[in-house]
Amino acid sequence: MNKKQAVKAILFAVIFLFLLQSLTYMLRTNGDIKEIFIGFYAEPKDTIDVVMIGSSPVYPFYAAPKLWGEYGFTMYPLASNVQRPKAAVYLVEEALKTQSPELFVFELRMYTYEEGAMADNMAYARGVTDNLKYSWNRIRLINSLVPEISERYTYYFDIFKYHSNWKTLILPDQYTAFWYERLHPLKGYVMHDEVIPGDGADYSAVSEQMAIPKEQEENLRALLVYLQEKDLNALFIVSPMVLDEDMQKKFNYMENIIASYGYDYLNLNNYYDELGIDFAMDYYDGGSHVNASGSEKCTAFLGNYLTEHYELTDKRSDEKYSTWNEAYIYWQECQEAALEMINNKVTSGEYDTMVEGE
Amino acid sequence: MSFTSFYFLCFYACVLIIYYLIPAKLQWIFLLVSSAAYYLLSGNGILILYPVVACLVAYAGICVMGRTADVKKRRLALVGVVVLLIGCLFLLKYINFGINTVNGIAGLLGFGDIITGFHFMIPLGISFYTFSILGYVIDVYNQIAQPQKNFFKMALYGMYFPVILSGPIIRYREDGEQFFQPHPFEYKRVVFGMQRMLWGFFKTLVISERMNLVVNTVYDNYANYTGVYIWVATICYAFQLYTNFSGGMDIALGMSQTFGIKLPENFETPFFAKTISEYWRRWHITLGVWMKEYVFYPLLRTHAFSELGKRCREKLGKKRGKQVTTFIAMFILWFTVGIWHGGDWKFVIGSGLLHWFYIVMGELLNPVYGRIMRKCHMNGDNGWVNGWRIVRTFLLVNIGFVFFRADSTIAACRMLAGAIHVGNIGMLFDGSLFSMGLDLIEFTIAIASLFILLTVSILQQKEDVRERIARKNIVVRWIIWYALLFYVILLGYYGPGYSAAEFIYQGF
């Protein structure tokens, strides 16, 4: 093979790999989580003050546009459905590639679940791995989340899974994902206007502890050690939900561990009055996840807490954050409509019904 | 380890890179090691003993033949090898066929199963390596091939991994020596080989796997379908089988080409054939050649057939007498072809005796056909007549495919009976077509892909399409290859959640 042939072969392969990468990005199943991650990658370098990592108790709970519009700092969720705690360290690393956040916030609900149950469902691993850009960090994450070595190639090269989505390529959301960067209109926040009341009870007086699954404790400790080594500022939170006494004990158990590493902990379930949470109207699924009404309360509580406890400078006058202003205006419009819808449902008593599988 | 699996592609890439990095003299040894590794990685590793022992037996046979001119000893060695290799093949693949037949007859006579069947683990590619090795031993016996003195070279010939799954059946005297020659890297050859592999992936993953869905819908529930549904499914099966088998060949031949080894072609647009005989000269060519060379002609040369021929000529005249002998020899030939495909009457009929019947009838009716053509003042080479011949041959072949694909001979007969009622032809136009496993879009993709296949097949008759593309400027040719590459990646049926059908001929 002469030089010219070698150059041609390499060029052909490079173009192929580039096109394959972009094609995969476009073919990845469209939806809220993909939009959240694409949105994160589109944010300009070093513009995110707070990165929130966790599972579904993140993206519908805390409205980043409100935090910006009313508190002046930027927050972005790197969250996915049933996100396995093991993923947290890798998501921090992913965030640090483009951002230098003042604070990382970790939502703890998934730490109370058995790892095995989550590992059995590949969708929970793919929710994170298949929404990241290709990188060495992503490979490490896959190695960590996918125990079956012979299956890992379908994660490394997720075109093996998503090529059958080719019919979705006609959707603008898909073909505009070529670079896997597109600003999220609500900065990662996912709004719900459904109402399914929950039956919540206050367990803030419970002070006993109950061990969380051993593997999750290891994951939590590993994360804490990592944060210490990297000298990163972090807050561990629990979003409000319908919980039972055992859950509260597990959260207490985690609080103890977190405190022993010198990090802050905030369980919003201990502040129902301050939050003003109303289980009859603030949840869209019977008490697990909040709708726009509940979100506004959680966001306000968190916004106040963060501005009180951390040095987050107000950047609202900085022009380079114009997209955040747009997101705030858009959020206000959506929020108004959603609150109206929620109020109507509560007033009329015509609640939504749970769809099987949710 | 299927050719279309991710792990095979990784395996192949590693083999190819190392193949051209090591000294050229060692390439054949590396191919042998790779072939053994492939065999070991493709299922139950212990089964590698079968081809190894087969090679040892053949090697022992040709060593004897190489050392002595004594006809008796040479014949004894040949018989020994044939008995052992065919015996092993028979035992593993056909003993249950015999037992099932006996039990079937016993059942008809009111008895239950009188013999219990056996369950053997069948080594990969047993029919292919057995035939390749046997052909070589027979050639050495006939002194038209040199006996190989190096066992490991013999083993490479017998176990060469690109052909082990589904052929082609190679002949040592034509293809053998190139395995052991050094093959320096040649850019064009390697690129062309890869392009051919890509074409094979297109046929297999895009067309064959799509057709598979339609075929399975009907053949797995044949009692629920009649008439045009059965015809549509059978025609889809014809294309499924062709694209699956010839696609596998493209991958095997393309892969070999990247190693510098040219293997014999196994297909030559078989659905363009105008007669059944021509069809078999275009479909699974290497099996046809092997059967003629090592079964049909030797059979005609036997003392028994000479005697039979003599008697037939005396009683029926020269022409008819010769025909009778030929037809009897052909019956044995087609029976063998049928049973080679599998130990079941559906294969014996669908791939064997039915075709024998077609050919015999063709021979017998040819004079009648000629007279009709003359009376109608029609030119035998007229485009319309040729078109009709192609369609007729295709439909006749499809009847064989019904047997080939159906669960059993009885199921095939029932399907053919059901296929006669074509009153439901409206299903082609009322949307029912899209309830057969492929929706409108998928069906359109399948038709478009078949159109691409047809176009390339027509172009290929005049000139190698790769050469034609290679003459274009770099932008055009890269667009063509990227388009094909991404067509396969996007529209191919593979990956998690999809259980791809294996190469159909892999089981033979």
Q: Is A163 within 8 Å of B492 when comparing Cβ atoms?
A: yes
Mutual orientation of helices B71-89 and B126-141 as an angle, nearest 10°?
A: 170
pLDDT < 70 regions, chain B = 497-508
Phi/psi at A105 (5° precision): -115, 130
Collect all residues of chain A within an 8 Å Cβ-Cβ radius of residue B492.
163
Q: Is B495 within 8 Å of A164 when comparing Cβ atoms?
A: yes
Binned at pLDDT 50, 70 and 90, residue A156 comes out as very high
Nearest C-alpha in A relative to B441: A167
Strands (E), chain A: 50-54, 75-79, 103-107, 234-238, 264-267
d(CA B338, CA B295): 13
Nearest C-alpha in B relative to A2: B187
Burial of B165 (0-12, 13-18, 19+ CB in 10 A): buried
Residue B470: its H or E element: helix B465-470
Q: Is B6 within 8 Å of A20 when comparing Cβ atoms?
A: no
Residues pairing with A75 in the sheet: A50
Q: What is the mean pLDDT of residues A259-285?
A: 95
Instruction: Return the exposure string of A123-153: e unless at least 16 CB atoms fall within 10 Å of the residue's CB, then b.
Output: ebbbbbbbbbbbeebbbebbebbbeeeeebb
Q: What is the pLDDT of residue B68?
A: 87
Query: Distances from the Cα of A18 to the Cαs of A126, A306, B471, in angstroms?
Result: 22, 41, 26
Q: What is the pLDDT of residue B502?
A: 57
d(CA A233, CA B291): 78
| Straight-line distance from the first to the last Cα atom of chain B, in angstroms, rounded to the nearest whole number | 16
The Cβ of residue B79 has, within 10 Å, a number of other Cβ atoms equal to 12
Q: What is the pLDDT of residue B96?
A: 80
- CB of B6 within 8 Å of any CB in chain A? yes
Mutual orientation of helices B151-159 and B49-67 as an angle, nearest 10°?
A: 130
Binned at pLDDT 50, 70 and 90, residue A239 comes out as very high
- CB of B110 within 8 Å of any CB in chain A? no
Range in A83-97, A247-261, A342-356, B483-497 the model is least confident about: A342-356
Angle at B502 between CA B498 and CA B507, to 5 degrees: 155
Q: What is the pLDDT of residue B29?
A: 97
Q: Enumerate residues 25 to 54 of chain A having a beta carbon within 8 A of any beta carbon in chain B.
A: 27
For an interface test with B, the pick among A2, A15, A16, A146 (most B C-beta atoms closer than 10 Å) comes out as A16
Query: A11-67: per-residue pLDDT in tens?
Result: 999 999 999 999 999 999 999 999 999 999 999 999 999 999 999 999 999 999 999
Which of A9, A12, A163 lies closest to B495 in CB terms?
A: A163
d(CA B483, CA B477): 10
| Cβ pair B208, B247 in contact under 8 A | yes
Place of tokens 């921090």: A92
pTM of the model: 0.90
Which of A12, A23, A154 lies closest to B486 in CB terms?
A: A23
ipTM at complex level: 0.88
Q: Report chain A's mean pLDDT, rounded to a whole number.
A: 94
Instruction: Return the exposure string of B16-50: e unless at least 16 CB atoms fall within 10 Å of the residue's CB, then b.
Output: beebbeeeeeebbebbbebbbbbbeebeeeebbeb
Of A308, A295, A304, A303, the C-alpha closest to A240 is: A295
Which of B485, B490, B496 lies closest to A16 in CB terms?
A: B485
Query: A305-357: per-residue pLDDT in tens?
Result: 999 999 999 999 999 999 999 999 999 999 999 999 999 999 998 998 877 55
Stated length of chain A:
358
- CB of A12 within 8 Å of any CB in chain B? yes
Q: What is the pLDDT of residue B382?
A: 79
Collect all residues of chain B within an 8 Å Cβ-Cβ radius of residue A153.
6-7
Size of the A and B interface in Cβ pairs below 8 Å: 49
Res. A282: pLDDT tops 80: yes
Which of B6, B482, B490 lies closest to A153 in CB terms?
A: B6
Q: Is A16 within 8 Å of B491 when comparing Cβ atoms?
A: no
Q: Is B490 within 8 Å of A163 when comparing Cβ atoms?
A: yes
Residue A158 to chain B, least CA–CA distance (Å): 9
Collect all residues of chain B within an 8 Å Cβ-Cβ radius of residue A27.
490
Token pair in block for residue B98: 């015999």
Residue B293 to chain A, least CA–CA distance (Å): 41
| Cβ pair A142, A90 in contact under 8 A | no
Residue A9 to chain B, least CA–CA distance (Å): 9
- CB of A347 within 8 Å of any CB in chain B? no
Nearest C-alpha in A relative to B206: A164
Which of A5, A20, A161 lies closest to B496 in CB terms?
A: A161
- CB of B496 within 8 Å of any CB in chain A? yes
